[in-house]
A = this chain, B = another copy of it.
Amino acid sequence: TQNYRITLLPGDGIGPEIMAVAVDVLKVVGKQFDLKFEFQEALIGGAAIDATGEPLPSATLDTCRNSDAVLLAAIGGYKWDSLPSNLRPEAGLLGLRAGLGLFANLRPAKILPQLIDASTLKREVVEGVDIMVVRELTGGIYFGKPKGIFATETGEKRGVNTMVYSESEIERIGRVAFEAARKRGGKLCSVDKANVLEVSQLWRDRIIQLSQEYPDIELSHLYVDNAAMQLVRSPKQFDTIVTGNLFGDILSDAAAMLTGSIGMLPSASLGASGPGVFEPVHGSAPDIAGLDKANPLAQVLSAAMMLRYGLDQPKAADHIEQAVLQVLEQGDRTGDIISPGKNLLGCRAMGDALILA
C-alpha cells in the first residue's frame, strides 16, 4: 500500500461541495489501486479570512508543505471584494503559489467529443482541440517590484507594476514546457510581446537557446495579440503553449472557453520539489453555492491530475478520467453543460454516478 498525505483546501462558494465529491472518488479509486490517502483540511481564501482575518494563515501553508499534494477547490466571492487587496481571497492564492514555489502552471484545454456542442465555436473549428498551456506562475508582473500606488511631485497618484523575468526563471519554465510538448504532440509555441517589451525579448532569446537541447520539438513564436486571435481563428494549430504569468492568465482562460465547458477543466501547479497544487480552472460560483447545482467534474479531473503529476500514479488517473468520459457518454450532465435529451444531475448525484461508473 502506498500512503499519501493530501491537503484539502475547499475554499469558498461551491468549493466544499465539489471537494466532497472529489474526495469520495479518490477514496474509491484508492481502494482499487491500493493507495491510502490521509486527508487533512485547511483554510484558504474567504473562509480563512472569516475565521482568522487572513486569506492564507501560516498554519495552512505549513499543512500544505507537510503533505504530498494539495487539492484546492475555489476561492473568492462578492463578500470579500471590498477588502484591501492584500487581505482578499486572491492574495491567499498568490501567497500559496509563492510559498510553495509553484512556478509551473499546466492548464489543459481539451474539447470532449460529448460536449462539443457546448462550444460557441463551430464544430469543425474546435473538434479535436487539445491544447496545453504552460504558464509561468511565480514571476512576471504578478510579483515584480517596484509595485504600488505612489504620489508624484504634482500630488497626482501613479500606479506601478513591474514585469520582470530573469534568464533562470525563463529557463526553468521553458524546460517544463519542452518536456510537456515531448509527451504530447511535439510542438511548442512560445508567446510573448517581443516586438515591444524587452522582458519578452529576453524571454524569446532564452527559449530559442534552450530549444537547442530539444531538437525533436518544433518551436514557434507568436506575439500575444496574435496568439489571442489565432486561438479564436484556428485553435487546432496549437499543441503546447508556453508563456509568462499574465499572458498565461489571459490565454489559458480564452483557450478554456473555446471548449465551452469551463466546468470541466482542471489545472496543476508544480514547483521544483515539494507538493503541487491541483485545482479547477473555474471559480467559486457564489451564486449557486450550497444549492447542489455545481459541476464537480473539473474538481474530480484535478484529482486525476494530482494522481498523474503529483503522485506519479498514472493508472489511477486514467481510471478517473475514464469514469468522467463514461458518465458523459451515458448522458449525465450538470446544469452548466446540460443539453436537450440529457439527464440533469445535481453535484452529489454526479458524484454518485462517477463512483458507479
Contacts and interface: CB of A to CB of B under 8 A. Distances in A.
Interface of A: 85, 88, 90, 94, 120-122, 125, 141-142, 144, 147-149, 152, 156-168, 193-203, 224-226, 228-229, 231-234, 246, 249-254, 256-258, 262
Contacts of A226: 253
Nearest to A146: B162
A158 B166 CA distance: 4
B228 A253 contact: yes
B168 A156 contact: yes
A189 to B, nearest CB: 16
A356 B115 CA distance: 48
A342 B195 CA distance: 38
Contacts of A149: 198-199, 201-202
Contacts of A164: 158-161
Nearest to A235: B120
**Total identical chains:** 2
A157 B167 contact: yes
A202 B159 contact: yes
Contacts of A257: 228-229, 232-233
A168 B159 CA distance: 11
B229 A256 contact: yes
A158 B200 CA distance: 10
Given A158-B166, A161-B197, A228-B251, 14 more contacts: A85-B201, A90-B196, A147-B197, A148-B198, A156-B168, A157-B166, A157-B167, A161-B164, A193-B246, A226-B253, A228-B228, A228-B253, A229-B254, A229-B256
Nearest to A171: B156
Given A158-B166, A225-B249, A198 B258 contact: no
Nearest to A225: B253
A10 B194 CA distance: 24
B228 A142 contact: no
Contacts of A125: 120
A121, A144, A196, A202 pick with most chain B CB within 10 angstroms: A196
Nearest to A246: B193
B159 A161 contact: no
20 contacts: A121-B121, A121-B122, A144-B160, A158-B166, A159-B166, A159-B202, A160-B162, A160-B198, A161-B162, A161-B163, A161-B197, A163-B163, A193-B249, A226-B253, A229-B257, A229-B262, A231-B254, A232-B232, A232-B258, A233-B257
